[in-house]
Amino acid sequence: MGSTLAGQILAAHLVSGTLSVGEEIAIRIDQTLTQDATGTMAYLQFEAMGVPRVRTEVSVSYVDHNMLQAGFENADDHRFLQSIARKYGIHFSRPGNGICHQVHLERFGAPGKTLLGSDSHTPTGGGVGMLAIGAGGLDVAVAMGGGAFYLTVPKILGVKLTGALQPWVSGKDVILEMLRRRSVKGGVGRIVEYYGPGVASLTVPQRATITNMGAELGATTSLFPSDDATRAFLESQGRGAVWTPLAADADADYDETLEIDLSTLVPLAAAPHSPDAVQPVADNAGTVVQQVCVGSCTNSSYYDLAIVAAVLRGKTVHPDVSLTVSPGSKQVYEMIAESGVLADLIASGARILESGCGPCIGMGQAPPSDSISVRTFNRNFPGRSGTASAGVFLVSPEVAAATALTGTLTDPRTLGALPAVRPFTGAANLADQLIEAPAADGSAVEIIRGPNIKPLPIHPGVPATLTGEVLLKVGDNITTDHIMPAGAKVLPLRSNIPAISQYVFERVDPTFPARAQTAGGGFVIGGANYGQGSSREHAALAPMYLGVTAVIVKSFARIHLANLINFGIIPLTFANEADYDRVAQGTRVTLPDIAARLRAGQPVVLELPDGTQLPLAHALTPRQVTIILAGGLLNSMREA
Active site amino acids: 64-65, 119, 379, 534, 536
The maximal CA–CA distance of the chain, rounded, in angstroms, is 75
Q: How far apart are CA 9 and CA 75, in angstroms?
A: 39
Please give the helix or strand (H or E) that residue 571 lies within, else none: strand 570-574
Q: How far apart are CA 156 and CA 161, in angstroms?
A: 15
Q: Which residues pair with 27 in a beta bridge?
A: 14, 149
Q: In what order do the strands lie in the sheet with 31-35?
A: 131-134, 114-117, 31-35, 58-62, 91-93, 435-436
Q: How far apart are CA 334 and CA 329, in angstroms?
A: 9
The DSSP code for 478 is -
Q: What is the DSSP string of 40-94?
A: HHHHHHHHHHT-SS--SSEEEEE--SS---SSHHHHHHHHHHHHHHHHHT-EEE-
Asked if 170 contacts 396 with a C-beta cutoff of 8 angstroms, the reply is: yes
Phi, psi of 9, rounded to the nearest 5 degrees: -70, -40
Please give the helix or strand (H or E) that residue 143 lies within, else none: helix 137-144
Please give the helix or strand (H or E) that residue 304 lies within, else none: helix 302-312
Asked if 388 contacts 359 with a C-beta cutoff of 8 angstroms, the reply is: no
The DSSP code for 356 is S
Residue whose C-alpha is closest to residue 198's, from 231, 164, 229, 222: 164
Q: Strand 155-162 vs strand 256-261: parallel, antiparallel, or unpaired?
A: parallel
Phi, psi of 627, rounded to the nearest 5 degrees: -60, -50
Residue whose C-alpha is closest to residue 24's, from 165, 189, 214: 189
